[in-house]
Structure 1
């Protein structure tokens, strides 16, 4: 792919209100077609962030039938593509990462109810050393599993969650059971932009 041009990217800190907090992710606008798996994996390895997202426009109409563009989104860790899945004790958890590498599945979610004085409903941490990420700073996909879990426990559908990694980040969640979806919101700050030579 060398010598074909440049691809624009940004590094965004998601689920935070301040730079260098939350979950850093590279976002690459990919216009070059679908046959670039090896290149995408190489770019993700080069960024060496817990996630690198490749966004490419599609020609299909939106699922609601309304005008507007649809986009395909693919996520990569430095080593693989990801398919889109007490409070004090949790925050101080020191897992044996070499042991976690032997667990089946993508990663391990650990969660607990927040203390009554907290401004969040629950906290969590996410470990996935099998994918080259010892601990993900803030994991939107993990909260797609956590929202239904905490809905049953707390009897509600709207949550504020905190992922208690060293960087930390806050997520606003809304469980839409009738649609089988979890809506995720949070603050984000773009801290870098550039282009990649292809």
Structure 2
């Protein structure tokens, strides 16, 4: 009997232009696979995230539900925004769901993705038949002061960048405020030094220039998980939203992921429910079947 092929699609998330934003491989499974296989496939794709979908039997009159797991090239993670957006785009665009809402069962609980109609820009290059974005309902990631006081080590890891604040997220990342969005954009990370810093990774952020159309810029470096730079990190924005809520006194943001690939994330923070709603677009760039 021949092997069952596993359908996959590579999707660029938080962009409507191919080869921008953050790429994720989405694999649709018909049956559970062991963790070694899942990790091996993620290492083979060698993208910041490879995610795996498996259909779940949902109660009658509910939204379609899928199991969803995320793997970097070296490990499984608890929360990933861009691969969740990519998974939702895959299901919507290939007609694999008939509703505008999908539920994902994950390590971080039930996450919801909604298809939200919006006018398509006249210069858009996306592949959607009609204009829409995808909104993700995610938990807030807390940001708090840290007892790590080695500003010099952090600054050196960011090639001498001026460090205004050092905080820490509840996911174990250093959260660094730089003086401006321009400095975030121009930062030249020293990956070997970041690898040796305590904690999981480093988020850097700064206020966007006036007139830019954005509220803040950010970037995320996580070499310990096989990701030197995550081009647009959705889960980092779950920490960025409550942080900038305190700084700017508002709950709605347009954020630029200032990596070389770039990407745009629209955010709404629900303080009462401690949820972050991330909205973005995505575009499929390749598809095929795994032969293993």
Same fold (TM over 0.5): yes
Aligned residues: 193
CA deviations on 1:41-94 (whole Å, 9 max, x unpaired) are 111111111111111222244xxx951222221111111111115111111111
CA deviations on 1:173-196 (whole Å, 9 max, x unpaired) are 111222221111111100111111
**For structure 1, which runs of at least 5 residues remain unmatched after alignment?**
none
CA gap of 1:100–1:3, structure 2 versus 1, over 3 A, is: farther
TM-score, L = length of structure 2? 0.63
Q: Segments of 4+ in structure 1 off by > 3 A?
A: none
1:116 and 1:95 map into 2 onto residues whose CA distance is 25
Match of 1:39 among 37, 40, 45: 37
CA deviations on 1:149-189 (whole Å, 9 max, x unpaired) are 11111111111101000000001111122222111111110
Q: What secondary structure sits across from 1:117 in the alignment?
A: coil
1:176 and 1:7 map into 2 onto residues whose CA distance is 38
Instruction: Give the corresponding residue for 1:170.
Output: 264
TM-score, L = length of structure 1? 0.91
2:19 and 2:236 map into 1 onto residues whose CA distance is 21
CA deviations on 1:81-115 (whole Å, 9 max, x unpaired) are 11115111111111221111122333110000101
Which structure has the greater CA radius of gyration? Answer: 2
Match of 2:77 among 79, 82, 86: 82
Instruction: Give the corresponding residue for 2:254.
Output: 160
1:152 and 1:60 map into 2 onto residues whose CA distance is 39
Task: Map 1:1-198 to 2 at 5 A.
Answer: 3-33=2-32, 35-61=33-59, 67-84=62-79, 85=171, 86-198=180-292
Contact preservation (8 Å) 1:28, 1:54: yes
> Post-superposition shift, 1:144?
0.6
